[in-house]
Amino acid sequence: MMGGGSPPPPQIIYPPPAPAPAPTTQVPTQALATQGALNEVSGKQQRLNMELGAELDRTNAAFFTGQDIRRGQAAAAEDRLTIAKTTEANQALQRTAGQEARAQTAETGLQYRRGLETAGEQDRTTDLQREMFRRYKENRDYEQAQSQYKV
């Protein structure tokens, strides 16, 4: 180490003392009175706005209630008209279906009667053929018997 001793302590420099504060001077102002008047006017305006808002709400409620009633009446009238048209269409369909069913029944009956007539004619023809054949056989048997008797 080289010679010596310890370094000298640091020197602290203090700032000069602050000057004394400036004296305050009271100045008369209207700010307090103005603020009070402003608060009063603001309160009146707010009450007026609330009253007008409530009146507007009542007017709107009455108007929209009437609108809702008219809308409901219109919807009900539309429903009644739709039901009436649907009923009318169903009745027309039923009327047509009834007419078609009656026509089909009449046609079925006519065809059945024609079938019976044809069957009856065929039966009569068959009966006539049987009768003719029976007479032929009887006549043949008679003739055979006569010819046997003479022999």
- Count how many Cα atoms sit within 13 Å of the Cα of residue 67 in the half-sphere of its side chain: 6
The rounded distance, in Å, linking the Cα atoms of 19 and 9 is: 30
Q: Using one digit for the tens of pLDDT, what is the confidence trace for 69-87?
A: 889 999 999 999 999 999 9
What share of residues in the chain are helix, strand, coil (percent, to 5)? 80, 0, 20
CA 141 to chain centre: 92
Q: Using one digit for the tens of pLDDT, what is the confidence trace for 50-70?
A: 999 999 999 988 888 888 888
Pick the residue with more confidence: 105 or 18?
105
Whole-number pLDDT of residue 1: 47
The rounded distance, in Å, linking the Cα atoms of 104 and 98 is: 10
